[in-house]
Amino acid sequence: MSRKLEIFGRNTSSNVQTVMWAVAELGLDHVRHDVGGAFGQTDSPEFRAMNPMGLVPVARDGDLVLFESCAIVRYLGAQYGTERFWPADPIKRAKQDNWAEWSKTTLAKTVIYDVFWQLVRTPKADRDMEAVTAAAVNLDAYLRMAEKRLGESAYFGGDALCFADIVFGHVLYRYYTLDFDRAPNPTIENYYQRLTEREAYAEHVMVDYSSLRVE
C-alpha cells in the first residue's frame, strides 16, 4: 500500500477544508480524492469500510484509516506537527484542545447547521430566518468568549498557529461570507484577516460554495 497521505472528500466540504488546511500548513505530501456531494461514491462498500457513516473527510495514511475531521487534524498534529502546532506537553496541549473541541462542537455547529444550512442549503421558501437570527445572537456571544482568549495572544497557542486555530479558524470563512447580520468584533475580525493572508487558508478554506446553493 502506498504511504502517501490520502484525503477523501470534496473541497467544498467545511470538514474536508479543516483537514486540508492542516495538511497544507504542515506541508505534507498528499493526494486528495473528490468524493461526496455531486461526486458520490460515499455509499460504495469500499468507502463505507473506511467510514461507516459514509461522510467526508476520510484520511488514509499507510495502513491507518481515519474519519472525523478533528480526529484527523489531531492525528496529523501528533504524527507530523511541529512543537508549535502540536505541543508535546499534555497540559499545554490540553489548553489548546479545549478551544479546538469547543470550536467544533459549539461554534462550527452553530455556523454550519443553524446559519449555513438555512441560508445556502435550504430552499428560500423553507428557510427558518428566526433560527438564523437566534444563531447570530449565540454566535456573537461565542465569539466574545474567543475574543477574550485571543486578546491574550495572536493565536490559541501563542504567537504561532496551532491545531486549535485550524478547528476554530476554518469556520470563520463561512461566518464572514454568509449574508446575515453579524455583531462587530474587531479582535476576531483582525484574527480572520490574518488567516486570509495565509496561502494555505486561501487555497483550502476560502473555497467558493455557490455550487452548494439551492434557491
Ligand X SMILES: N[C@@H](CCC(=O)N[C@@H](CS)C(=O)NCC(=O)O)C(=O)O
**Which residues lie near ligand X (CB under 6 A)?**
13-15, 36-37, 42, 55-57, 68-69
Query: For ligand X, which is the closer residue by CB, 69 or 110?
Result: 69
Q: Residue 9 CB, nearest distance to ligand X (Å)?
A: 7
C-alpha cell at 80: 507530523
Query: For ligand X, which is the closer residue by CB, 197 or 208?
Result: 208
Q: By three-state DSSP, how is residue 89 classified?
A: coil
Q: Residue 154 CB, nearest distance to ligand X (Å)?
A: 26
Query: For ligand X, which is the closer residue by CB, 174 or 198?
Result: 174
Helices (H), the chain: 14-25, 45-50, 69-80, 90-102, 109, 117-119, 129-150, 163-177, 186-196, 199-204
Q: Residue 120 CB, nearest distance to ligand X (Å)?
A: 12
Query: For ligand X, which is the closer residue by CB, 159 or 208?
Result: 208
The CA angle 180-142-128, to the nearest 5 degrees, is 35
Name the residue type at position 101: E
Q: Distances in Å between the alpha carbon of 196 and those of 164, 191, 193?
A: 16, 9, 5
Q: Residue 166 CB, nearest distance to ligand X (Å)?
A: 12
Q: Residue 198 CB, nearest distance to ligand X (Å)?
A: 21
Q: Distances in Å between the alpha carbon of 75 and those of 39, 55, 111, 160?
A: 26, 18, 25, 19
Query: For ligand X, which is the closer residue by CB, 55 or 115?
Result: 55
In the complex, residue closest to ligand X by CB: 36
Helix (H) or strand (E) holding 58: strand 58-61
